[in-house]
Amino acid sequence: MATIPQALHLGAAYYPEHWPEDRWPEDFRLMHEAGFNVVRLGEFAWSTMQPEANTFRFGWLERAVDLLAAHGIVSVLGTPTAAPPAWLVQQHPDLMAVDELGRRVQFGNRCHYCVNSPEMHDATRRIVTAMAQRFGDNPHVIGWQLDNEYNRVCFCDRCQGAFQRFLREKYAALDALNEAWTTRYWSQTYSDWSQIPIPIGRHNPALLLNFQQFITHSYHRLQHLQIGLLREYVPDHIWITHNFMGWFPGYDHYKLAEELDLVSWDWYVGTGYHDYLNSGAVHDLTRGFKRQNFWLIETQPGHVNWSTVNNSLNKWEAQAMAWHAVAHGADAILYWQWRSALGGQEQYHGTLVDQSGQPRPFFREAQQIGKAFRKVSELLAGSTVPADVALLNDYASRWSIDWQPHHEDFDYVAHLTHYYRPLAARNASRAVVSADTPLDGYRLVIAPALLILDDGRAAALEQFVRQGGHLVLTIRTGMKDRHNALLPSRQPGPLRAGAGVEVEDYYALLEPISIEGDDRVGQSRQWAERLRILDEKSVQVWARYGRANGWLDHHPAVTAHPFGKGIVYYVGAYLDDESQQALLDRIMKAAGVEPILFTPPGVEACLRQRPDGVALYFLVNHAAAPATVSLPWPAHDRLQDRTVQGELQLEAYGVSVLTRV
Ligand code: GAL
């Protein structure tokens, strides 16, 4: 098993192939001055590494890695497979992906390959093996990144054949597939595997789900190939990662993360400013892919080039973002990219060093982050993020809802985040994990729109509640099976007994409707479910619908049901923000979930726990104005190296890392 680096890293993506070699020493000197200790390089450099079929050139890369090391900077190498070069594509035009309209994609951008192309797999074998042979035992290479942001879907005939084989493997008999997919509907019954199409546009829900799983399977194959090739030469203690894209929906990230030693992701704000109540969820999602710390392997130095308005982050906003990421489990922050290339598609992207080779104003901010990282790097070694609350995430449920949202504004991620924000606003320790993760250790589990609920999942959730856990079921929970077919029971399917209620019907709402709770009146938007009480003796009704469409009027909207030693809540409404906060406050209290610390709005408190039990408290002010936090105990401020008691002042976008004294 690879050793995951235990201390903080700070760095950038650097492309030595863009610059004359005599410039490198100055770049590396500046990196050292910025406090950088890692650089990511190599991804996209295929045409420089292998300018023609039988010529490999790695000397330049080796010299760059060595020179970086001489400046105290370690390297992460990217395999360049996201950028198959022109000569290769010319030799094998079939290597290029085909779009939904049947057009071969044009050469000249990136990620243009067909993920199932045998020529791509062959070419990958050659370039990755050659890289691994050359750099596998290089002492300055601490990790590898595979490809870059897997994302393209190919619709070529060969992918269709591979999809059919994938289905054959999974279902074994066509009858089983026809049955599970309800293909008698609209006469879709298949009598031969070769009749099954790749779905384009609306389709049979089971076909859609299987194709999405096939995309996961296809990237998994290519990834597995690369890992195997690297491992021939790369020792086990060197880690292998891929850079994911947060909430990107294209494949099941849990499946792809299984084989990786470390998960990393690329965080871009684009237009506007970062909202920590939302971005915390993405860090937690990424940490949840393997339930371990992660790397933020790309983030924006100032601004991007690809959004509608490429505004810069405010001065020091990136500082708050860097610590926010660390507080949520990041062990590294790497900016993309170091210096503006003179040509290529990304000329206007933010960088640390500009086209003239001089540091931009942002450089000083990165330098400040570097200084502070050095102060706590050793202290943080081995520390992880504990969590009282788990939010369950499930790609199949998300895809299914995306294909049939029933209300055009219903968005799975926005709905999950609607449950995340009230927890984040109260500094509850929390995680976002796969719906198939073991639930021991959590006090509260929230299953937002966990549409797909088979008996296995239901049994694990029920067991969690029997043992004293609190479980929140929400709208759209417990409706379908693993083939994306409706369960032949009312929502929440196998959890009806646990919930003590069932859903008699669901309503997409044209307008918000009123909700009357014990002590407040609020609204439900987009969606409302009419709950029928099954266990009259013990279900408590926490809120009812007011006058609505007639069907919903005065029916229960939110319920709580003591079950075993715990409680199951059913939230049949999509509450307004204030009511949602009030509801989650009440549930957190009942479940015994305490805030890490009390902070004013805009300031977050997070916790990392060292293996020796020492708790590290992070206070991050996400506001552009100073803030004050009242500390309940005296503490040692590790960045300022002083003892603090009572009121702690944070500057605009300021940060404190505290240990209790
Ligand atoms: C990322 C990509 C980088 C760079 C960056 C620009 O998605 O991985 O290579 O293009 O966007 O924001």
Q: How confident is the model at residue 518 (pLDDT cuts 50, 70, 90)?
A: confident
Distance 10 CA to ligand 1 centre (A): 18
Ligand 1 pocket, residues with Cβ under 6 angstroms: 148-149, 266, 268, 298, 304, 336, 346, 349
Distance 213 CA to ligand 1 centre (A): 25
Distance 40 CA to ligand 1 centre (A): 13
Average pLDDT, the chain: 97
Residue 232 among the catalytic residues: no
Ligand 1 atom at shortest distance from the alpha carbon of 148: 8
CATH number of 389-591: 3.40.50.880
pLDDT of residue 4: 47
Ligand 1 atom at shortest distance from the alpha carbon of 243: 8
pLDDT of residue 45: 98
On whether the pTM is more than 0.85, the answer is yes
If one residue of 346, 348, 351, 352 were mutated to test the ligand 1 pocket, choosing by the most ligand atoms within 8 A of its CB, it would be 346
Q: Choose, from 17, 43, 119, 149, the residue flagged as catalytic.
A: 149
Q: Choose, from 17, 119, 298, 604, the residue flagged as catalytic.
A: 298
Q: How confident is the model at residue 6 (pLDDT cuts 50, 70, 90)?
A: low
Task: Return the HEC string of 90-153.
Answer: HHCHHHECECCCCCECCCCCCCCECCCCHHHHHHHHHHHHHHHHHHCCCCCEEEEECCCCCCCC
Q: How confident is the model at residue 520 (pLDDT cuts 50, 70, 90)?
A: confident
Say if CB 272 and CB 310 are below 8 A apart: no
Task: Tell me if domain 9-153+219-380 and domain 389-591 are identical in fold.
Answer: no
Answer yes or no: is pLDDT of 648 > 90: yes
Q: List residues bridging with 615 in a β-sheet.
A: 609
Rounded to an integer, what distance in angstroms lies between the CA atom of residue 315 and that of residue 133? 44
Answer yes or no: is pLDDT of 498 > 50: yes
| Domain ranges, ordered by start, for the chain | 9-153+219-380, 389-591, 603-660
Distance 87 CA to ligand 1 centre (A): 24
pLDDT tens, 561-609?
A: 999 999 999 999 999 999 999 999 999 999 999 999 999 999 999 999 9
pLDDT tens, 452-479?
A: 999 999 999 999 999 999 999 999 999 9
Query: For the chain, first and last CA: distance in Å?
Result: 36
Ligand 1 atom at shortest distance from the alpha carbon of 245: 7
If one residue of 79, 149, 265, 266 were mutated to test the ligand 1 pocket, choosing by the most ligand atoms within 8 A of its CB, it would be 266
pLDDT tens, 7-33?
A: 899 999 999 999 999 999 999 999 999
CA-wise closest residue to 504 among 513, 515, 491: 491
Atom 12 (ligand 1) nearest CA: 304
Say if CB 429 and CB 389 are below 8 A apart: yes
268: which residues sit within 8 A by CB, 6+ positions away? 298, 299, 300, 304
Answer yes or no: is pLDDT of 2 > 90: no
> Which architecture does CATH list for 9-153+219-380?
Alpha-Beta Barrel (3.20)
pLDDT tens, 283-318?
A: 999 999 999 999 999 999 999 999 999 999 999 999
Distance 266 CA to ligand 1 centre (A): 8
pLDDT tens, 46-68?
A: 999 999 999 999 999 999 999 99
N residues, the chain? 661
> Which architecture does CATH list for 603-660?
Sandwich (2.60)
Say if CB 301 and CB 352 are below 8 A apart: yes
